[in-house]
A and B are shown apart, each in its own frame.
Chain A
């Protein structure tokens, strides 16, 4: 079937955070996240890019000063409050500076290598995840094989999986939050196969 491999670069810390839960607190994985690997444009910027104020906008007050029962804002620059909580000065500078001091000695291989995970059942078929690592860092995650028996729902497997990986990356890139709330539905099968691929590569 035609399928573009999912390629995710820069979600390393999140993935390792997922996969090392038995031994390593999430914060210890921050050391392997390159500060520049995840796009760090501020939410404000990304919203302003393609979002004119909605016709339904009723105001531009920042939320904490709002007194009306419901408030609205037009997304662009008029709304400092909800989007200035992660300033570039704080997060990227903090994470790399802090994590190496607490990170455990890593035993993962240095040479670039790839592995396919075991084929596992997920909600709509059987899949196998491919992963590449280099220098103790995950450089690629993709679908090695997918047999969905013609189930159209499997078309959304990547949409089911990527947001989870991205969420984990978000958590890792911002040491200052303890969780991410989003409309995600992730595949346990994806993670199971990914784990087996990673264990073949020396991640445990």
Chain B
């Protein structure tokens, strides 16, 4: 179906108006916006500026490798949570909820070196950045924080975003494609720059090669993906019990398991 190719579709189809990369949080966040005209008006550009501000502020507040960030100072005990910017309390509160939901498999308080909400913040910030895209001309927007994705709307009329999930045994390939809107986060250990810590043992652990969690909120999806990657397939039940959230695991031997309504794309493209 060639009309799915960007820019090749009919005039009535929304088209990509913005493709932007923000270097932030030690990684790259891509922002894509789709409008009917394929162009972005003043308001949409203002939305983009605010979204970038959200990401930059999250980096400034929560970076654990910038020694002067409020989060770093909090970890060293130099300031209290009350003295930190208000986002810190908000994020830690959400982390606590995620810790409860995940039965402790996601636990920023069990990380080496003190409380570290990094596993939540990236998704949280991307979700907040997405919420800035309020211009009425926007038909779809997607914020991809290095593989953790928040989206609203779609790239076409009544058409969902299609997101590929990396094959953990071959990171240059896709394992499958899912359809959003909503959020999806993937955690795993095939990317060695990022270690997963088992909060129950304090040791680097992953019981599956890859865990993806979809749902309404990327912060929670990100936290749950981390939890499932550490805990393994058994934690699928945790996600299954959560309204609107679905999960897929890919084990080291290539076995897949998923919750009943995981949003696999339909076979037709």
Q: Does B205 contact A (CB under 8 A)?
A: no
Taking CB atoms, residues of chain A closer than 8 Å to B188 are 182-183
Q: Does A54 contact B (CB under 8 A)?
A: yes
Within the assembled complex, what's the spacing in Å between the Cα atoms of A184 and B162?
19
Within the assembled complex, what's the spacing in Å between the Cα atoms of A188 and B30?
12
Q: Does B112 contact A (CB under 8 A)?
A: no
When the two chains form the complex, which single residue of A70, A72, A178 contacts B237, counting CB atoms closer than 8 Å? A70
How many residue pairs at the A-B interface have CB separations less than 8 Å?
A: 256
Q: Does B130 contact A (CB under 8 A)?
A: no
When the two chains form the complex, which single residue of B149, B185, B255, B260 contacts A54, counting CB atoms closer than 8 Å? B255
Within the assembled complex, what's the spacing in Å between the Cα atoms of A139 and B4?
29
Structural contact, B23 and A188, CB atoms closer than 8 A: yes
Q: Does B44 contact A (CB under 8 A)?
A: no
Structural contact, B144 and A39, CB atoms closer than 8 A: no
Q: How large is the interface on B (under 10, 10 to 19, 20 to 34, 35 or more residues)?
A: 35 or more
Q: How large is the interface on A (under 10, 10 to 19, 20 to 34, 35 or more residues)?
A: 35 or more
Structural contact, A176 and B5, CB atoms closer than 8 A: yes
Binds A, one of B75-83, B90-98, B99-107, B189-197: B189-197
Within the assembled complex, what's the spacing in Å between the Cα atoms of A108 and B257?
47
Q: Does B157 contact A (CB under 8 A)?
A: no
Taking CB atoms, residues of chain B closer than 8 Å to A53 are 255
Structural contact, B175 and A51, CB atoms closer than 8 A: no
Q: Does B201 contact A (CB under 8 A)?
A: no
- What 6 pairs across the A-B complex have the smallest Cβ distances? A51-B254, A54-B255, A182-B166, A27-B6, A82-B176, A183-B188
